[in-house]
Amino acid sequence: MEKVIAVVVTYNRKALLTECIAALRNQTRPLDAILVVNNGSTDDTEEWVSSQKDLVLINQKNVGSSGGFSTGISWAYENNFSWIWCMDDDGYPKEDALEKLLDADDGCLRLLNCAVIDKADKKSFVWKTQHYKNLDDVDCKIIEGIGHPFNGTLLHRRIVERAGVPKPKYFLWGDETEYYYRIVKSNDIPVCTVADSIHYHPATAFSIKNDWDYSSGWKMYYYIRNRFFIHQAKFNNKALALLHYYCFIVAFTGVVMLYQKTDKLKKLSFIMWPVTDAFNRNFEATPPVILSKLKANETFSLTGSINGYLRNTWSAIFTPIATTRGRRAANA
């Protein structure tokens, strides 16, 4: 029998982690191992996991969800597990979720995913899953062509051999989507959601239309920057990927202008920082660096915000052109 390991990435959410671990221990198809990757939690997560004899623990600094899953998937692969079941600490699988996933395996290599269901009402899909809104609408066992990584995603080791592991440099917000497209698009591996394999997760209220606090909006940096690399993985044509990213920038700028109620000009100026870093493939910005810059910009004048927006917009537009010309000159 092929060995299955669960990989759970956690950070400062011990109560949610214990709920997830309890659900993993209660699977009708028992797991061969449970690996917890602790991303530098400052609560008592490490002490609790260390006291659990059936858990494998890896402690590391906080390198985001991408770094956590990169570490966990790599460890599972190197230790010869056949199946790697990935999830964050804020969700948990129904007791027969793993059994249903493995039952759906027909021997053909594909990315298997749980149906991600609102843990509050136990029936609504958390994210768009084709045209289905809740479990009662589903009229098939396998929903082809869609999945929501790291919420009960089951990888066979052959996928890791072909597509690698998540890239730590993306940190969070978009890292899972880039990995998804790297598997499905770049490596032509089919994806599906197994409708009767349930993974419960909190409903997400995130929307870029919601007014976000400028001084603490550090996650927006990764959301904007990582979009560039999502499009690179999604489209084999680099020009098409760049065009889609430009469209995203224009659309995001429009949303800020229309829907943001506070610090609108500062947010417009801020947008172009992650865009410029994306074009330059600069991955040095950590959460403390981003927060420091955001807090420093709180004192910017109206004129400074406008000038910053124009300066960064100019840089973002012409950086790819200058880079391409430089490469051509070097190769001439």
Burial tier of 250 (Cβ tally within 10 Å: 0-12, 13-18, 19+): exposed
pLDDT 10s digits, 30-72: 999 999 999 999 999 999 999 999 999 999 999 999 999 999 9
Is the residue at 16 inside a domain?
A: yes
Q: 140, exposed or middle or buried, with CB in 10 Å at 0-12, 13-18, 19+?
A: exposed
- Model pLDDT for residues 64-111, shown as the tens digit of each residue: 999 999 999 999 999 999 999 999 999 999 999 999 999 999 888 889
Q: What is the pTM of this model?
A: 0.84
Residue 208 lies in a domain: no
Looking at the structure, do residues 16 and 48 belong to the same domain, yes or no?
yes
Alpha carbon of 5 to those of 1, 163, 232, 239, 253: distances in Å?
A: 13, 19, 30, 39, 42
Q: Are 296 and 320 in a shared domain?
A: yes
pLDDT at residue 18, as a whole number: 96
Same domain, 226 and 189: no
Domain boundary among 180, 201, 222: 201
Domain that holds residue 159: 4-201
Q: Please check whether residue 207 lies inside any domain of the structure.
A: no
pLDDT at 280 over 70: yes
Where in 51-91 does DSSP place strands (E)? 55-60, 83-88
Q: Is residue 206 part of a domain?
A: no
